[in-house]
Structure 1
Amino acid sequence: MSPKSTHPQSSNSPLVARRALRDGVYDAILEKLLDGSTPPGSSLGIDSLARELGVSPTPVREALVQMEHTGLVNRVALKGYKVAPPLSPEQVTELFDARIMLELGAVERAVAHTEDLVPELRAAHARHVLAAHRVRKLRGGDATATDNSDLREYFAADWAFHLLIIQAARNRFMAAMAESLSAHVHRMRQTVDHGTFDIDQAIAEHTAILAAFESGDPEAPARAMRTHLEGVERRSLDDA
C-alpha cells in the first residue's frame, strides 16, 4: 500500500478556488459600495447580486457575511442586507482616533527609512496633485462631472500617499490594520457632501508631510501627520 500523500493542497483545489471566488465577489460588492451606485440604506439582494456578477448565491452570501462583520452592511431580519448608514459623528471620531494611533506610529518607524521613502512619496504626492486638478477641472465653474470616477481617483491617490508611509514602517501587522481601516475611510467619504471638498487643504497638508520627511528632522513628520489627520477629522465632522 502506498503511503498517504504529504504534499500540500494543490492551488487548484476546490477549497482554494472557492476562497478566490468569494474574495473576488467581496471586492466587486465593495466597489459598488464605494463608487456611489449603492448609497447608505440601499438593499443588497443576494440573488440579484449573484445574477449581476455571474456567480451562484453562495459566494455572495459569504461575502455579505464578511462585510457585516466589518460594519459595511447590516442584516435586517426578514429583509436581507442593506448598506450600512453613514458613520455617526461618534464613529468618525473613533475612526480618526484609530488612524492617529496607527499612522503616527507608522510615521515614527518610517523615519528610519526616509531615504528610500521620499522618492516614492514625491511620486505619490504628484499623482495626488494631478487627481486633485482633474476634480477641480471637472467640477469647477459650470462644469458638471458625469460620474464619480474623478473622486474615486482622487481618494485612491490620497490613500496611496498614506499607505506608502504605513508600508515604510515595515510592520506587516500595521499594514494589515491599515487594510482593515481603508474601507471605513472610504465609507466616511461617502457621507461628505459632494458639493464641498477639502482638496486644497489636503494637498497643502500632504505637501507639509512630504517636506517634513525631506527636512531630516526626525520629529517633524509626526507633527505634520497629526496636523493633517486632525484637520481632516475636523472638516469631516463639519460636513457630516
Structure 2
Amino acid sequence: MTTSQPAADSGPGPDDAGARPSPSISRRALRDGVYDALLEKILDGSAPAGSSLTIDALARELAVSPTPVREALVQMEHTGLVTREALKGYRVAPPMSREHLEQLFDMRLILEPAAAARAMARIEELLPELRAAHARHEAAADQVRRRLDEGRPTTGEGFAELREYFTADWSFHLAIVHASGNVFLQQSLDSLQTHVQRMRQTADHGRLDMDEAVAEHADVLAAFETREPTTVDDALRRHLHAVAGRVSSDG
C-alpha cells in the first residue's frame, strides 16, 4: 500500500486538511484496483485461458475509462498472466507448460528451504505465526469443502471461499520466509506469487488437493515444533515435491 508523507517545510500548512491526493497516486490506485479485478476474473475462471480481453469491454464492465484497463493489462503482460498479439489485443495466457512448472518448483525448492533454515534463529517468534497461519488454512479448507459438499460452484461469484483458501495456503509459506529476516529472500518469493497464481488459473476448482496440502502443512508445522533444522528441511521439501507432483499429474 502506498502512503503519502507530509512535506518537510514549505507548502500547505496543517489547515490544508482538504488537500486531495496527487493525480499520480489516484491514477495508480485506480490501475491497481483494475488489476485486482482482472486477476479475480482470471483466477475464478470467468476469463479462462486463451480468452480475449477487450479493453473497451472491460472498461464498460468495470465502469472506468480504458486507460487504467490498458495500464493494468500491460502490468499483467509483464507477469505472464496475459499475452498480447499485434492487431489482436490481449488474451489470458495459456496454461503453464510442464517445463515452466518444473522450473517454478525448482526455484521454490531453492528459496523456501533456505529461508526455513534461517528462520530457525527466530523460531519462538515464528511458531505462533505459523500456528495461526495453519489454523486459517484449515478453516479456509473447511469452507471450500462445505461448498463442494453442498454442490455449490467455486467459480464466478462462488470464488470467495476458494480465494481465501489460496491466500491462506500462500500465507503459511510467507510466514516462514518472512521469519528468515532476509529481505531479498522475501522479495524473491513475493515475485513468485504471480506465477503461483498463474499455475492456479486453470485449476479444476472441483478437484483440489486441500486434504493433502493441509496435512502436509501440519507436518511442516510439527517439524518446526521439534526445533530440529534437518526435520524442518525434510518436511518442507516433501511438501513442495508433493505439490509439484500433483500439479504435474493434472497437467
State whether residues 42 and 201 of structure 2, in contact with CA within 8 Å, keep that contact through their aligned partners in structure 1.
Answer: no
Specify which of 89, 105, 108 is matched with residue 114 of structure 2. 105
1:11 Cα deviation (Å)?
8.3
Question: Partner residue of 1:219?
Answer: 230
1:6 Cα deviation (Å)?
8.5
Question: Partner residue of 1:18?
Answer: 27
Residue type of the alignment partner of 1:29: L
C-alpha RMSD of matched pairs (Å): 2.1
1:86 aligns with 2:95: yes
State whether residues 140 and 164 of structure 2, in contact with CA within 8 Å, keep that contact through their aligned partners in structure 1.
Answer: yes
Structure 2: distance between partners of 1:174 and 1:32? 29
Q: Residue by residue, what CA displacement relative to the aligned partner does 1:95-147 show, whole Å, maximum 9, x if unpaired? A: 1111111211211111111100101111111111122222222223xx31232
1:71-150 to structure 2, matched below 5 A, reads: 71-140=80-149, 143-146=150-153, 147-150=158-161
Structure 2: distance between partners of 1:119 and 1:111? 13
Residue type of the alignment partner of 2:186: A
1:170 Cα deviation (Å)?
1.9
Q: Residue by residue, what CA displacement relative to the aligned partner does 1:127-172 show, whole Å, maximum 9, x if unpaired? A: 11122222222223xx312323332222111111111111111222
State whether residues 128 and 154 of structure 1, in contact with CA within 8 Å, keep that contact through their aligned partners in structure 2.
Answer: yes
Note the residue ranges of structure 1 that are not aligned, 5 or more in a row: none
Percent identical residues: 58
Note the residue ranges of structure 2 that are not aligned, 5 or more in a row: 1-7, 12-18
TM (norm. structure 2) is 0.86
Task: Name the CA shift for 1:120/1:42 in 2 (closer, same or farther; >3 Å).
Answer: same
Tell which deviates more after alignment, 91-100 or 181-190.
181-190
Question: Partner residue of 2:175?
Answer: 164
Residue type of the alignment partner of 2:139: L
Task: Name the CA shift for 1:159/1:83 in 2 (closer, same or farther; >3 Å).
Answer: same
Task: Name the CA shift for 1:29/1:7 in 2 (closer, same or farther; >3 Å).
Answer: farther
Question: Partner residue of 2:14?
Answer: none
1:219 Cα deviation (Å)?
2.4
1:7 Cα deviation (Å)?
6.4
1:66 aligns with 2:89: no
State whether residues 43 and 202 of structure 2, in contact with CA within 8 Å, keep that contact through their aligned partners in structure 1.
Answer: no
Structure 2: distance between partners of 1:52 and 1:71? 23
TM (norm. structure 1) is 0.89
Q: Where do 4+ consecutive residues of structure 1 move more than 3 Å?
A: 5-8
1:12 Cα deviation (Å)?
2.5
